[in-house]
Chains A and B, each alone.
Chain A
Amino acid sequence: MVKESYLMVDALAQRDNTFTRMDARVKVLLSVLALAAVVGLPGFKLPLFIFALTSALILAIRVPFKIVAGRMLPPVFLGIVVFLFMALFHQGSQVFSLEMLGLELKIYGEGLILGTTVLLRIISSVSILLCLSLTTPVHELGYALIWFHIPRVIVEILLLTYRYLFVLWDEGMRIRQAQAMRLGYPDWRNPAGWKKAVNSTSTLMAMVFIRAYDRAENTFSAMQIRGYNGDIAGQRYKKTA
């Protein structure tokens, strides 16, 4: 399920539209500036405005609702919890109170404002990153990051990680399925079953690591045949003098 969502985002980023054709450097720069503004500046208006912009973009490139909901809901849920926490427990002037089941709920003005700010910040920053990932394939992002002088080492490992994450994912899930078929994951509400499940999990982790290690050697050979000399090839963007 996690893998599908990743692959869907990747597939959407590979499509051809105005935003995917845009220079990745511009997109990265705009996203970073928008994020800085959302997090750094006070007030509601800017986060709301940016959220509206990004929503329009997401609508314009016709992203399936499931993806948007899947990506937005967990952080928004977290934001709502924080919002309630702040509205209920922050000291300040009381706006109104509610009698419920013999409990008195007091809502505080300052907390309400603060909670709303945090909630809006979370929503708009998640939507900014969603827009970036929906319009920029990972390799384009890699080129842009190199252009922005992010150390090549980090970018290279990032690209390799993204590439092999899915390969190892499939391999790991195959092992997990095989373990499950041999009753490796019994009902873990009882101690014996739980012990077995923990055992199976650590075996699976070790196996995935071992396979990754062995695959690294093959990957290196394959890269070497194609002329790898310790650095990923080249620059996409011409050096501006």
Chain B
Amino acid sequence: MVNLTIDGKSTSVPTGTTILEAARQLNIHIPTLCWLKKISTTGACRICAVEIAGVNRPMTACDTPVKEGIVVTTRSEALTQARKQIMELILLNHPLDCPVCDAGGECALQDTCYELGVTRQHFQAEDVNPPTIDRWPLIQQVPSRCIMCEKCVKVCHELMGADALFINDKGDRAFIDKRVENCIYCGNCVSVCPTGTMISKPFKFRARPWELRKTRSVCTFCPSQCQIDIHVKNNEIYRITSDDDTTTNRGNLCIGGFFGYGYVNSDKRLTAPQVSGNNVSWEEALGTVVAEIQRIKKENGAAAVAGLSSPRLSNEENYLFQKLFRAAIGSNNIDSEARFGALRALRALNKGIGLRGASNRLEVIGRAEAVLVFGADPSSEAPAVDWQIQDAVRRGDGKLIVANMRRIHLTQFANSQLSYQPGSEIELAQGLAKLLLERGLVDNDYLNRTVENLDNLKDDLAKVDLDQVVLSTGLALKELEYAADLLGKAATVAVIFGADIHKSAAGAAKSTAITNLAIVCGALRNESGLYPLDEKGNTQGVLDMGVYPESLPGYQSYSKKKEAFEKTWGCKLPEGGCDADAILAGIETGKIRFLYLAAVNPQSFPNSRRWLEALKKLEVLVVQDIFPSAVTALAKVVLPGATFAEKVGSFTSLDQTVRNVRPALKTVGESRADAEIFAELLGRLSGGEKLYSQKAVIQEIQSLTDMYQDVCFISDDWNVCMKQAYRVADKSLKYVPVSGKDEVRGLQLLVGPSMSHFGTTSTFAPPITEVESEEVFAISPDDAGDAAVRDGEKLKITGVTGCSVVARVRISPKVPKGLIYATANFSAAGITQLLADGDNRTAIQIERA
């Protein structure tokens, strides 16, 4: 601790504390303009200068650490004079356009001038401000309003790792410029700008800050679930912000959170219930659904009814959905898209180590000494994980190993990029585990204490042939050894894996191999963690609520635990149940005649053509969604649901934190909150309560499961319920031998997440489509050369299903030779029809189109 005196008050603060921080602890206010807690200090504005006895110049409080015994003065005539004059300099040639400036009313420059009483301008100089920059997408820059605080530059570089913004030119002509190709359109530069320099074009000139009503909520685009404020005027969202000091995301947002809200007020929204293509009343629509269910049940039995739910829906909605099917309809034919990914990962984690998702809290990643990102692109799948990784390896001295077929946004910070051959994930995981053991980089005491069958693990790893690993992965032994060393020498480790792993048809085996590696490298120790990622907003909630036939809410075996539910629900639950694959087959064979799609569009499932063809065979298709699609066109009944901004409900993040969303605006048109629809159907079919109560649903979940026990949403403020980190008991880790192989060879297509889009929803948000307007094939320069296709030209790809898709190519050195990468956000492009059932990668043939 360091002792010092500020304005006559004595204090004691830890070494490294700045004078500004020490003063704030004493409630002594020092004015600042360029200081921002979450970035490194800049010392640009100079108005925080203070006097220190014995130091013959003013020192800036923001970037001067305390020193034992110093006597600091924050207020004096000389300081006031200097601060005022510096403010006058800052204001020199600042335009007098406050009335039309976007920052008017929330401008730190205005506030500081007011605070310091800067009422005159003593200086004059030629106005050499560069003109407004309007050529960048989504963001406008007005250099004349800039005070060069560099907050935008630093957030862009230090927190996002985008490094797009920089100071260009010298002297008073200097301005914030952008390497546009580096911009990820996260909007954080706009958020942190203290003046109206960085402006969101979608927001510009549309509202004054004081006209907007703020509702605290959660962004549900991805499982990061950043805390946000939704700003609404006239039942329309004008902007999304996030607060630095009170959110787990420290006010940071990504393109989805900042620019993605536009879909909520899209004029393409479904606004009225429809039956057979005609707008009808809710009474008629719901009546039709109930009647059809009863009819089909009568004619074909309840097993002819099936439903798919969605990670876009809340926990309560997913709970009500499964209850609707199991208790009211009497069918256990329910599933979700987690079947094609996240569920495989969950199974692997659950089988070996009893996990229900990530083993630890998100912020543990930010403190890890080593991070292994395996078959994941956190920047696309869960940006908050990316930010944590950057915390660990950039603001900390952690080491980063990226094992990915492609080079990703985080590769630039990686100490080791293992660009493995497609399909060699199991070999790579086993090879790394073997090297950790061989090189003496494991915590033997820990493994002996915690692993039930350590001998099996060691025996099996002993059998792993490193030559074969080198051959399969295409990586040099040296690279593997280096990565193992980085991982093994760290005291705390975070292992993160994602879509490339679990969305593969061999996803279960691959997830198991990574789980085994996580055991070996100590990722399950207290300050370490294992994190499966799924890009969808509430996949964790879908799984927690048991929206799959094998499990009831709370991961309770359907076959073993259904009595308890029967007792509470007062009904008999059906035997068996079809998963998504069986539902598809059932529709094709005619066994399943009624399908309820709740906020889910099978067009984004692998082999989507097969799904679409099957949907046509249904007797009754009910689609509950927010936008029309090829699937709503096939539906007998269309029920307009609501977005996250229009309803109340809880969502569970990737680290199993439960957060609540609240209605920031009324649902558009006739649309209804999805929970209300389910509750009413449940009530109608079972004769019970038809009104949705979040409290009642949460209480039911709490009474029937061991989960969500501490969930309690009482205030309108942000309210989160963090799950405690997983603790490893003795002999509780079980090594599960891996079987299964991935045999795709030759030129391949990999389908995965995008850095700009989130599911299909964001394709209805105009700002995001301005950044990424269509599906593209990312192709290596070599493959592009072989196919004689140039950047921007079209390529036809034919997959194993026999389907073909034509799209533009983007030649990218980030993709290796032999692999083409595509996302599947634009359902109209039909990328997923190239994929085989339940897979994310396919052998392809290409030709110039």
Interaction A to B: no
